[in-house]
Structure 1
Amino acid sequence: MYLGLDLGTSGLRALLTNDQGQSVASADHAYSTAHPHAGWSEQDPQLWIAACKKVLNDLRDTAPEALAQLKGIGISGHMHGAVLLDKALKPLRPCILWNDTRSHAEAAQLDAHENVRTLSGNIVFPGFTAPKLVWVKANEPDIFEKTAHILLPKDFLRLYLTGELRAEISDAAGTSWLDQSTRRWSNALLKVGQISENQLPELVEGSAPAGSLRDNLCADWGIGQEVMVVGGGADNAAAACGAGVLQEGQGFVSLGTSGVILVGRNAFAPQPETAVHTFCHAVPDRWYQMGVTLAATDSLNWLSKIAGMPPSKLTRELGAQLKPPSTIQFLPYLSGERTPINDSHIRGSFVGLDIAHDRADMTHAVLQGVTFALRQCLEALRATGATIDDLLAIGGGAQSGYWLQMLATAFNLPINVPEKGEFGAALGAARLAICGVTGREPEMVMAPPDIAETVLPDPQLSAAYNSAYEKFIKIYPAVRAVQ
């Protein structure tokens, strides 16, 4: 048996699989995020440990015989977080998360240094790890002085499981400290980022051994043999492993808290000026590129709270057949935006509201705004030379057939809907563990899911959505000028 742990922003998912990657049992536990100031987003790392204990105890209670056969664990986690530890390996402050924008000035300073983009492969975004440490040095100098170790979120969870300090390459690629061409920490980037390599863990690939489950935890969970814990992967890299997106021509669109279009790349070919993220993959000698809009289902959830109605009910009000594009334009920049505008200060807007518009019109506009923001990501990816002929749809928002019709039509691309089952980051983490323990090649383990349906563009609406998109991309500069 193999275990995939997916450390998400809102909760931890545990998936137990057999050696073919087929789901045997699962458990989930939610936790909260603190927002002590505007633009801040933090979590107490002990919440992750408590969640891990809860889901493993649940698996021990519900599937004890399967858990007793555990051979390997892979961990996926949200990227860019800064977990600062003292010499005793105790957290010095809450983790600063990926969607925290306090270090926007520090990010701009780092980004302006010569060769930073060339070595790291990316613009230094405010959400990345390196500017967070520069912010801590300037604003919390006592904590900075005590910082003996810097971990990414999933690697703190690994520390609990194994007692080992390790970092994994696909996650490290989002720090702005990694030379992605060599897949090693860069002395030049560390110097610019004002930290020492002694503060960072040893690097391992996603399927490489990174420690063993501690004996006391094996005993607590009824496991009688050694359990390998592999490097694992950053959340989107692990999701790509779960979806079978490993190489050129493969890709997915994810409608989660944030929206992502990710494509596999066989070589390191960054174009940071497009604001596309280029990261090392969780499998050796592979990379991936992605465009990110920060508020995808977050935008729908925001409207849901205001309307006092669940998101699923809001989308059902739209009916089954895709409607023409709305005359309302929604900019989904509720938490700033990444690809392609890289603006942590911009905020969301409705443009074109009429007294005749109702709740369903606003729901349609929100879906449309996120769709158009994702199309901007798609166009940015194409500008890097990425091949995109179709996309696999994953994430909670992909449960809406209406939204999928809109995506296919606005992108003018087929959208493939997988068969129901596991194919996300938790499965990807488990698959990395399978590769690590058995030595099997990733291509043999990480197959794409079976496709239940292919959603094709609506030829009668494609031109109208293209016209509406052209109007959408003109709105940001005007709104930015008055915000």
Structure 2
Amino acid sequence: MFLGIDLGTSGVKVIILDEQDRLLAQASGSLSVSRPAPLFSEQNPADWWLATCTAIEELKNTHSALLQSVKAIGLSGQMHGATLLDKDNKVIRPAILWNDGRSASQCLELEKREPNSRSITGNIAMPGFTAPKLVWLKEYEPENFAKVAKVLLPKDYLRFLMTGDFASDMSDSAGTLWLDVEKRAWSEKMLTATGLTEQHMPTLFEGTEITGTLTADVAAKWGMQQVPVIAGGGDNAAGAAGVGVITPNKAFLSLGTSGVYFVANERYLPNPEGAVHTFCHCIANTWHQMSVVLSAASCLTWVTKLTNFESESALLEQVSKCDFSKPSSVIFLPYLAGERTPHNNPEAKGVFFGLDSDTDAAVLGRAVLEGVAFAFADGQQVLLDAGAQIDDVTVIGGGAKSPLWGKIIASVLNRPLIYRESSEVGPAFGAARLARIGVEQIPAQQVCVNGKVTKTIEPDTVMQDFYTQQYKTYKALYQSVKAYF
């Protein structure tokens, strides 16, 4: 048995896989995000641990025998978050998250301090990354910056509490802006530009390597043996391992809180000017390219609340009654938390355009689904511009449950979308797979296989025709209003 822990933004998911890759049990603990000021997004790391222990406790109550037989634990988690510890390993302040937009000016300052930043890291400096957050901290909270002894990514803070080790994997660390992504090593130049040294960083491991062992106290609390803990991966790389996207030209599209278009590569292929993320994969000697939409399924959650529907599924049911033989009159820019690819604009805002007296909740819901699809189309284009080859696209994440959204996205992207078993638990599933590879020492290609296809959604030719025109309007709309953000 293998345990996968995924620390997401809205919750922690824990699963147990057996040696045949069967999902035997799962549990979760919920999380909330604090927004104390405009553009700010924070969480208390103590809440991550509480949510993890809550999920484990549920498994302990319902599947204690399975927990006892777990051989190893793999970790995945939300990327980029700055978890700051002092010399006594105490948390200094709330963690600044991946979707925090406060450090835009610090990104410019960082690239000014290190002119080779983009060639070292393969990425343009963005507020979401970890390094600009520390530049902001030094400027606005110097007393807290002076206390920093270790900077950990969210899942690696869980690892520290589980094992006592300061360790991270290549895929998650690639999102800090401190990693030389091609060399898979910390960059002294990027750390110096942030006022830090390698001593502030965790030890680096490939995603399938063992980083430590569960402590006796945690093992007793969780009802487990003192099993090895594997490096794991950032949520997207782990999600890729979960659906078998580890070989060149394989891709997935994630409909989580944020939206990700992910393509695996056998070599380093940066395109920072297109705001494409180029990171290490959680598999050795493998990289990946990624376009990121900061608000995806979170837009659906937002419009559900806005329209007073009792659930997202209830709103989707209403949207499904819309006439999809013709275009909607309303277009939505889904920039509720700024945007990364391709705009790199933390100030971007959400916009409904084309409202009239006949606009109702279903029309707004439809516009949201289509707006997110158009944002993915932006991402697809810059990936192709960066030299990505895309053979097939698997859909993962909570938003993958909606066939209607799948048809909209397939029609906008002009390519079929593949749905596979266990796609909703992608990152946790991948983390458990990485745990298995780490302890059994078997090739990743033997474990990280494509899941069984449950369905394929093809583009709708009628929808394709009007989406082609609407997408042009969508792009022009952003250009028309961006000066007012």
Q: TM-score, normalising length from structure 1? A: 0.97
1:413 aligns with 2:435: no
1:158 corresponds in structure 2 to 159
Q: How does 1:19-418 map to 2 (within 5 A)?
A: 19-112=19-112, 113-224=114-225, 226-309=226-309, 310-319=311-320, 322-418=324-420
The structural deviation recorded for 1:421 is: 6.3
CA distance in 2, matches of 1:421, 1:120: 30
CA distance in 1, matches of 2:20, 2:161: 27
Cα distance per residue 1:204-238 (max 9 Å; x no partner): 111101000001222233334x4110101001010
CA distance in 1, matches of 2:31, 2:484: 37
1:462 corresponds in structure 2 to 464
- Any conservation in 1 of the 2:263–2:288 contact (CA below 8 Å)? yes
Number of equivalent positions: 482
Counterpart amino acid of residue 464 in structure 2: S
Counterpart amino acid of residue 445 in structure 1: V
Cα distance per residue 1:216-264 (max 9 Å; x no partner): 222233334x411010100101000101100211111111111111111
- Any conservation in 1 of the 2:398–2:424 contact (CA below 8 Å)? no
CA distance in 1, matches of 2:400, 2:253: 9
CA distance in 2, matches of 1:20, 1:90: 40
CA distance in 2, matches of 1:354, 1:421: 38
Counterpart amino acid of residue 184 in structure 1: A
SS at match of 2:4: strand
Structure 1: 5+ residue stretches without partners: none
The structural deviation recorded for 1:318 is: 2.5
Counterpart amino acid of residue 333 in structure 1: Y
CA distance in 2, matches of 1:366, 1:220: 44
Of residues 375-384 and 308-317 in structure 1, the stretch that sits farther from structure 2 once superposed is 308-317
Counterpart amino acid of residue 333 in structure 2: L
Q: TM-score, normalising length from structure 2? A: 0.97
Percentage of matched positions with identical amino acids: 43
Of residues 235-244 and 399-408 in structure 1, the stretch that sits farther from structure 2 once superposed is 399-408
- Any conservation in 2 of the 1:155–1:165 contact (CA below 8 Å)? yes
CA distance in 2, matches of 1:127, 1:140: 18
Of residues 343-352 and 417-426 in structure 1, the stretch that sits farther from structure 2 once superposed is 417-426
Of residues 29-38 and 416-425 in structure 1, the stretch that sits farther from structure 2 once superposed is 416-425
- Any conservation in 2 of the 1:5–1:426 contact (CA below 8 Å)? yes
The structural deviation recorded for 1:420 is: 5.3
The structural deviation recorded for 1:164 is: 0.7
Counterpart amino acid of residue 335 in structure 2: Y
- Any conservation in 2 of the 1:211–1:229 contact (CA below 8 Å)? yes
Counterpart amino acid of residue 410 in structure 1: V
- Any conservation in 2 of the 1:120–1:177 contact (CA below 8 Å)? yes
CA distance in 2, matches of 1:419, 1:446: 13
RMSD: 1.3
CA distance in 2, matches of 1:55, 1:296: 25
- Any conservation in 1 of the 2:167–2:211 contact (CA below 8 Å)? yes
